[in-house]
A and B are shown apart, each in its own frame.
Chain A
């Protein structure tokens, strides 16, 4: 992909992000932070590329280190979000 198409995706995603985040209810702002944390660990993609590549041993270990860190975040982030969201309950109808 050339730079202009990547930039286009980025700019569009910023706008999507802007509108989607404003629609999040303030009561869920903490889960929002936890889940954005989890998804920003998609940086694991870069870590996996480095960890799987041949050519530089240091690079490979840096990559594996990044895989560990990102995995903490992915599993931790989604799990803690799930835990929080499970607590939000409506009033029981009597």
Chain B
């Protein structure tokens, strides 16, 4: 093989970078060690970049420094300014950049294979490298266009409702097979049109795969694209024979895959059915129950809510995506503080799929200065509702719907939910009685004897409760 030989010290440096990336993820096992972990990641990245520049001649250093400064400056400013509620969009946008960068690197390697050490002096690319390059470009392109759609849906530039093309499964499968077939053909013929068509088809399928997926499934989509961006980096690592890229790609790939799995499990949906899309479209189950009679429900005021919570011993707060939309996390924390002053024991309960990405609610509560040891996961707190005087639901709906436990015909049947029906009083903040959750199903919690509906904008309602509590 005619490989440009990488000096042993550089190989060791890349390995060290890979190990530092592992330690960066390891740090996230606890908030206490997480910041040190992030620093390891930065050191690893610096080592990888400096090593590459030192081993690859620094003739174009000014251009490269310029490129890093432009990109880095843009990234840094965005990271500083972004609102925490917009984090899912930001992550989707970042995924798209990794995908596009992978495509560009793949194309650059195709155009200048000798510089990458994957071709003989005659410019004929090694067969194995062609497969890696083809797959890398394909995964990168899928990550890019898929993430762009995810970004547009999350950012509200595009409706969150699923867009269903007729015969989409056949189209998708056909396109996927065509891409794989072309990657196979690419090993025989390194003509430019082959790589161009692979790139174009991959962009198309990334787009086609994400448009039928509805808003409620976005946590899975974001995790899945996270995984893809990792596999794209890994495929490029194979092309470049670079350990840092391979280790990182494998880490990120598994990370995204595990998060997707956790999200699917938390919705009791199979990964395949999420990918097939359509969740949150015209709900058939709700249509079946259209003949439903109007059931009685009780409306409460902010003063009633404040009074009951003041008298309570244990209050469990369940935030959902609606809280993020209303930007109510700060006033919610103030409410928690006021209640604690009254001697009330306040806890927060977070469902794995609350929000638009994994861990979204935790970040928002952390932003509002809620201590992380007051925030609990579903399985850790679900046993405590029987002792709770008040379950305070703000911006969540499907995750407290008992139909998931009892109604086999419900689209959310089997999804693990909070046992709020065991609490003495349930307070449910909701804009109006008309709307239903993303799954499009009615919620029996509204009509329970112990439920008090607080109909208003979430932020406004909590502000009013705070006023009443302060008296």
Contact = CB atoms under 8 A, between A and B. Distances in A.
Interface of A: 1, 3, 6, 9-10, 13-14, 16-18, 20-56, 58-60, 62-92
A73 B90 CA distance: 10
Interface SS of chain A: helix, strand, loop or mixed? Answer: helix
A88 B38 contact: no
B64 A67 contact: yes
Given A27-B359, A69-B97, A91-B371, A85 B35 contact: yes
B130 interface: no
Interface SS of chain B: helix, strand, loop or mixed? Answer: helix
A43 B48 contact: no
Contacts of B76: 75-76, 79
A44 B97 CA distance: 11
Contacts of A37: 91, 94-95, 98, 226, 229, 252
Given A14-B250, A62-B108, A35 B31 contact: no
B116 A50 contact: yes
B289 interface: no
B28 A78 contact: no
B101 A79 contact: no
A26 B359 contact: yes
A65 to B, nearest CB: 5
Contacts of A62: 104-105, 107-108, 111
Contacts, number: 383
A26 B34 contact: no
Contacts of A74: 45, 71-72, 75
Nearest to A47: B105
Contacts of A43: 98, 101-102, 105, 232-233, 236, 245
B225 to A, nearest CB: 10
Contacts of B97: 41, 69-70, 72-73
Given A40-B252, A49-B52, A62-B104, A71 B60 contact: no
B25 A36 contact: yes
